Amino acid sequence: MSNYHKNPDAIADLSPEQYHVTQENGTEPPFRNDFWDHKEDGLYVDIVSGEPLFTSHDKFDSGCGWPSFVKPVESDHIIAREDNTHGMRRIEVRSKHGDSHLGHVFPDGPRDRGGLRYCINSASLRFVTVDDLEAEGYGDYRHLFE
């Protein structure tokens, strides 16, 4: 198990949009982000801490313009908390170890897959292909793709 943490070097390397999303609780534009229609097999990890968050097998097209997932790869890497900003009542999701703002979770996902929709900002994610899992230290997750 890796030691995931809020990495100051990773934060320093963030683009302005990545910084705004992860560190200032921002939101990127729908349909104009890296992963909303991304279809390759692999693991989505927190761009700040590297902790594994979601797999491509749990991704679905919700039509909202952001990557949507039915569940996290490990629920203990996600913190959910009430968010009453912008005149709305939502549940924000953050990475546990990186404390990155990821997005929100809604109860309108596919019923046959648990009913949740984790609506996540691409700017908070880094994608690791299945072929690169071992090389990048995520070999323990390879079984999820076999």
Question: Please, what's the largest Cα pairwise distance for the chain?
Answer: 44
12-28: b (≥16 Cβ within 10 Å) or e: eebeeebbbbbbeebbb
Count of C-beta atoms within a 10 Å radius of residue 114: 12
Cα separation, 76 vs 23, whole angstroms: 20
Active-site positions read: 119
Q: Are 36 and 67 in contact (CB under 8 A)?
A: yes
Mean pLDDT of the chain: 95
Q: What is the pTM for the complete model shown? A: 0.95
Please, what CATH class does the domain formed by 8-144 belong to?
Answer: mainly beta
Summarised one tens digit per residue, pLDDT across range 11-35 is: 999 999 999 999 999 999 999 999 9
Q: Where are the domains of the chain?
A: 8-144
Is the pLDDT at 69 greater than 90? The verdict is yes
